[in-house]
Structures are given as structure tokens and as C-alpha cells.
Structure 1
């Protein structure tokens, strides 16, 4: 038909244009359809790209490699993060924060360490640890003055052997904290030690001991105390009473008003000298048990301790 010839010529002319498909017949033959079947979008997409459809964007090899590298880096960072690290669960995270300021001479510093070493290895203390919910506690010993120094890093104590290892590590290290008093900074340092470890304690406690309320450096004591307590950490205090000083100053009352805080917080005074070791032992037992000296349970614990002696 003449019309057919005209259509063939027009279709051929259009098909010669660069980037254009014929108006008809472009895929009809390929699909086994009559020669003059109009070339519709549905037919074309079954065999060839539609003339106005965008070319698919292939992934260059470098892009695929980059994706693999990013994925590998993400996995490595996740596995190295604290969230992926296996945390040790224990009943109590306990920071023993001991006074090493200028009022504590070398002999007194050693005596304090020995007192804590004797107390932590006392059978009654070890028994209290073994009878906790998790059967263990985590302990670190820190000395404070103008600066702070960790003497024994975090140690899991679950039995007498681990208690002895902690005690042995406590005696030898040289003094690293010295100078005047910075109680506020010491409390915040204790908080940082708890929040920066890889241990998850059911309870978290700072056991602060000292013979002064002086605070020559760092933040105010009450400001630091409030920050520690807001982080869910209890502060207990052991004021060391000296016969030759502070006779007209109620140190236990000052510690109760300005230092302690949090659930079951308490003050347990101690005389310097032989009574100090016994006070440390009693304080540890109460902290491990999660109680205060005023409770009936505490009275039973301490009475049983006295009965053993």
C-alpha cells in the first residue's frame, strides 16, 4: 500500500536519527509481530530501552570497594566500642579514696594502706563478699591530696585468694599524691574511675576517708558531691579523728553535711591508730552489705563480728 511505503520511509528516517528509536517497527519484528505494528512503549521495553528512558547507572568498581571498606570500618569501630565490649557484672563497684595530703606523713600513709589490706582480707569481709548477689565486688584504691593517684587499679574480689592479691598490690607502690587538700577534685576523680571502667556494678560507692575539711584546690566540695550523687553513686565517709587537732571542730558532722550523699550513705568516724583498722573493716562490711550503721541488719552484722573476736 502507498501509505505503507510512506510510513516505512518515515520510520526509517526517524530511526537514522542519533539516539532515537523508529516510530514503529523497531521491535515489532523482534517480537514476531507484523512489520507495520506501531512501536509502543510496552513492546519496546520488552526488548530494548525506551528512547526516553535513562540509562541505568552501573556501580563503578571503586564504589563497591568503598562500600566494603566503610562497612568493615563500621564493624571494627563497633566491636572496639564499650557497647560491644563484654562488661564484667558484679555486686559493688567500690572506690577506696584515702587521704594522702600533707597532714599524712609517710608512716601514716603506710599504716592506712596496711589497715585496708588487713580489712579486705579479714574472713568476715571476704564472707560478706561471697554472700552478695553476684558473689563478688570490684575495688580500686586511690590516694588523694592536691592531686589524685590510683594505687591499685580495679580488681575483682570474689574469694580470699583475690582479696590477698589486692592487699599485696596495695603495700608496695610509692606515694604519688601529695600537697594540700582538694576534696572536691578527689570526689570527681572517684566518679570518673567508676564511669570509665568496663565493670557493671549493681551498686556504686565511693568510700572517702580524711582528717580535714580543707579544700584549697578544685571545685567546691558540695558541688562535686552533688555531681557524684546525680550520677547514681553513693558517697560514704570515714573521718579520721586526731587527738592533737580539730578538738573544737566536729569533723563527722561536717562530713555528714558536706561530703556524704546517695542511697544508704553514712559516716563512720575512726580514731587514728589501732582503732582505724577496725573501723575500716566494719565500714567495708556495711558497704558490701548495702546497709547503714543505723539499721537492725547492720547491728546484727556488727554483733556477729564482735562475737568472733
Structure 2
């Protein structure tokens, strides 16, 4: 994403003002894989893919088509057991300027120290983040992306998923996996996520072939989640 001068010029204008409306159409917690399997170049591609998707005109059109014309987004990085970290706090998105401000926050955020693949801990962290959000929405979604299955959580991904669904949260997933790649269980990663991660009404999994494909896959996923 090569729009840094425009990003910089619009950040101040899109900073949320005091007294802004608390009601939004969707609370969306983006849970992004930052585990040790991702090298610095891949990590940067991933960040840029998220920034590109969040500012895409089709995503903004989906937001404008909702009753409040607004969503709120936070970003979490996950990996280490008990180590999931909120790297971008809740931001309200209504238009191009506020989406660009969010994209800039995504690009600026320091990478959190992570290892392993503790998906269950990531889901628990996101559920707490949604419960304490400064905005209100009838729809609450955790959008988890990763390139591997749950390996070392303090709580199994299935248990954390079930608790989130019981709390009224939908969990969707983005599987970053090359065609033909299978997990140790002998199945595609998307199938593992379908069985162990997603849950709630209309929950779904999409697949990105690699981190260069994240922007496309995430864009389609965001439109579906928002609209």
C-alpha cells in the first residue's frame, strides 16, 4: 500500500471526536497470526494486506449500506499461550478518512512478541475485548487469521470458540495455506478451522493461498461480514 502522504494527511482529520455516537452496526475484532512461523517480510505483507482491504471501496460501500453506516474495529496479534496482545485499539470506521486512519494504525503498530499457535487464548482475548468495547453493536465478530492449527493454548480452541458463541459472538476464520497443504491431521487448514475455530450463525472460513493473497481474501471476507 503506497499512499503514505495521503494517509498522513488524513489521520488527524479522522481521529474520533469526543461525544461521537456509540452505536455501530458491527464490532469486529481482527485476530492476526504473529507467531514465529511468520518472517519479517511475510509479516509486512500481512499488515499491508489488512491495510489495503480495510480501505477498499467495496468494504466502505458495505459499511455505508448498514443502518448506522459505521463499524468499530480492533486488531489483536496472537501466538504465544497467554500472550495475545491488542495492537490497535477500537476505532470507529464510517468513511474513507476513518478507514485510512485505521489502516495507518495497522501499519504503524509495533509487532508483538509471539510464538507457537495458541488459538484458544486468542479467542478468549478477543471475547474479553468485545465485552469491554467502547461502542455498542448487535453484531459482534471475531475474525481470526492463521497459517496453522491450534498447537499450545491454555484452553483448547474448541472450548474458547464455544464460550464465545455462547456469549453471542460469531467466529470466522481466514486460513493462510497454499493449495494442497495439509495439517498434521491430514486435512486442509480450512477444514481444521471449520471444525475447531469457527462458530455462531453464518460462520465461515475463507482461504488465502499465501500472504500476497491476504488482501483479496480479507476484502471478500469483510464484505460478507459487514453486509
- Sort the TM-score into its range (normalised by shorter chain): 0.7 to 0.9
* CA deviation after TM superposition for structure 1 residue 177, in Å: 3.4
Larger radius of gyration: 1
Pick one of 99, 105, 117 that aligns with 1:181.
117
Residues in 1 aligned to 2:208 and 2:132: alpha-carbon distance in whole angstroms: 30
2:163 corresponds to which residue? 227
Residue 28 of structure 2 contacts residue 140 of structure 2 at CA under 8 Å; is this kept in 1? Answer: yes
Is 1:127 aligned with 2:61? Answer: yes
Partner of 1:206: 142
CA distance in 2, matches of 1:143, 1:241: 18
Greater relative contact order structure (CA < 8 Å, 6+ sep): 2
| Equivalent residue, structure 2, for 1:193 | 129
Matches within 5 A, 1:123-272: 123-146=57-80, 147-242=83-178, 246=182, 248-272=186-210
Structure 1's unaligned 5+ residue stretches are 1-84, 290-309
Q: 1:186 to 1:273 in 2, by over 3 A?
A: closer
Alignment CA distance shift 1:86-1:126 (3 Å): closer
CA distance, structure 2, for counterparts of residue 202 and residue 133 of structure 1: 12
Q: Is the 8 A contact 1:207 1:237 kept in 2?
A: yes
Q: CA deviation at 1:244?
A: 8.9
Task: Give, in angstroms, the shift of residue 217 of structure 1.
Answer: 2.8
Let me know the Cα RMSD of the aligned residues: 1.8
Q: Determine helix, strand or coil for the equivalent of 1:208.
A: strand
Conserved? CA contact 1:215–1:221, under 8 Å: no
CA contact (8 A) 1:184 1:215 kept: no
